[in-house]
Structure 1
Amino acid sequence: MLETYIVQDRWLAFAELDGDGIRLWIMRQGDVYTTRPGVSHNVYLPAYAVTHVVKHGGDGRGDDWFGDPFLDSKTKDLSEEQILANC
């Protein structure tokens, strides 16, 4: 299952596993990104952000979400200010 993220208004922060660490970046209005198969990711949306997510490429059966404790431990306590300062 793949997910394509589209930012219509404002921005979102996208974090995904990258080797032994994480890659964190900002997507802005008009940006489009499709996840990579088997790569865990987290998304942060600020107030008033307008985004669209299209799930595609799967057969519609089974789970389409899997938690990742390592990624969560690196992202869950980040404030919006920290996200913006690090991107």
Structure 2
Amino acid sequence: MSKPMTKTQLVAAIAEAMDADKKTASAALDAITEIVTKEVSNGGAVTLPGIGKVYCRERPERMVRNPATGEQMQKPADKQVKVTVAKALKDSVNA
């Protein structure tokens, strides 16, 4: 398995694909990140065509166990960010 692409590498690839400079590509990536973060933190969902859907799921209060001590304790309700991968991406990876 290869190393994950860094933000710098992603910005360079976006700039090349858009035939634009790296500053414009970086601004576009930052804008997308900000929009997705804002929407998901407000309880919404964002679909990135060809990639998948990013959404927030609420988890109820529950009992958990501390693995070090074995002690049972109550964990308060929280939220968890989930990503459902698009079928097109799954198919292209498995092709």
TM-score, normalised with respect to structure 2 = 0.19
Judging by fraction of residues, say which structure has more strand: 1
Determine which structure has the larger helix proportion and give its number: 2
Scaled by the length of structure 1, what TM-score is found? 0.20
Say which one has the larger Rg: 2
